[in-house]
């Protein structure tokens, strides 16, 4: 991206990080909805894994194809043949998994607001930039491949792909954070049930009010 566009994009990324960080702090001082060792908690954990695993696979798979090539080569193979934004989709699934595991409506709301902001403003701006960069090829790509919802029937996998090690290293550094999310989430769940832990919000009460 051009310098002004890149700066604007980084600013929006920082705003989203602050939003998710703030909602995460609220989650830390709230009581979870379910109790340890219950079937309800087991269901929450399983539901969280249902979002975490595909999110992790999408991010790692996408990085193999897109790492350091996005601004000078139109990539439309692998995950980019079935969905135009698999990295964003993977990140959304990972954060959704975290919100579920933490049993925090506030985190879930922050994730949904962030996802809406990216879908409404960030992604269209990126697509406009790439359209100017790749011209008719990219406009045809927009018409053939869905923006977010994957379409497996479009999958195209080459026998050999060039892998940029710098891009892989960059993604691996990020993975050092989200690969620990399930472990950290379970640890925080048990800590939040300790009597000495600060409890400023009763999440269970909020959920019951929303239901009724």
Give residue 145's pLDDT band: very low, low, confident or very high (50, 70, 90): very high
Look at the block and give the residue holding tokens 């050092």. 176
Domain that holds residue 12: 3-211
The region of weakest confidence among 16-30, 65-79, 196-210 is: 196-210
Number of domains in the chain: 1
The region of weakest confidence among 83-87, 109-113, 170-174, 190-194 is: 170-174
Per-residue pLDDT averaged across 51-63, rounded? 91
Look at the block and give the residue holding tokens 């702090």. 25
Q: What is the pLDDT of residue 202?
A: 63
Strands (E) across the chain are located at 30-31, 201-202
3-state helix, strand, coil in the chain (%, to 5): 70, 0, 25
Residues 6+ apart with CB under 8 A from 23: 104, 106, 107, 109, 110, 111
Q: What are the phi and psi torsion angles at 30 (to 5°)? A: -120, 150
Percent of the chain with pLDDT over 70: 85
Lookup: tokens for 9: 């994009």
Q: What is the pLDDT of residue 146?
A: 95
- 190-193 long-range Cβ contacts below 8 angstroms, 24+ apart: 190/36, 192/28, 192/30, 192/31, 192/32, 193/31, 193/32, 193/35, 193/36
């Amino acid at each position: 991206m051009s310098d002004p566009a890149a700066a604007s994009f980084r600013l929006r990324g920082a705003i989203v990080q602050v939003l998710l960080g703030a909602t995460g702090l609220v989650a830390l001082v709230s009581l979870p909805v379910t109790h340890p060792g219950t079937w309800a908690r087991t269901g929450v954990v399983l539901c969280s894994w249902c979002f975490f695993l595909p999110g992790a696979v999408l991010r790692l798979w996408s990085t193999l194809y897109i790492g350091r090539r996005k601004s000078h080569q139109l990539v439309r193979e692998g995950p980019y043949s079935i969905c135009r934004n698999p990295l964003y989709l993977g990140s959304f699934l990972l954060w959704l998994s975290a919100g579920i595991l933490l049993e925090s409506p506030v985190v879930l709301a922050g994730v949904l607001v962030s996802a809406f902001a990216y879908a409404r403003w960030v992604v269209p701006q990126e697509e406009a930039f790439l359209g100017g960069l790749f011209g008719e090829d990219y406009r045809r790509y927009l018409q053939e491949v869905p923006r977010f919802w994957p379409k497996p029937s479009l999958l195209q996998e080459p026998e050999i792909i060039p892998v940029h090690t710098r891009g892989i290293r960059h993604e691996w550094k990020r993975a050092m954070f989200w690969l620990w999310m399930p472990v950290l989430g379970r640890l925080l769940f048990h800590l939040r049930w300790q009597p000495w832990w600060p409890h400023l919000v009763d999440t269970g009460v909020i959920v019951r009010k929303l239901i009724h």
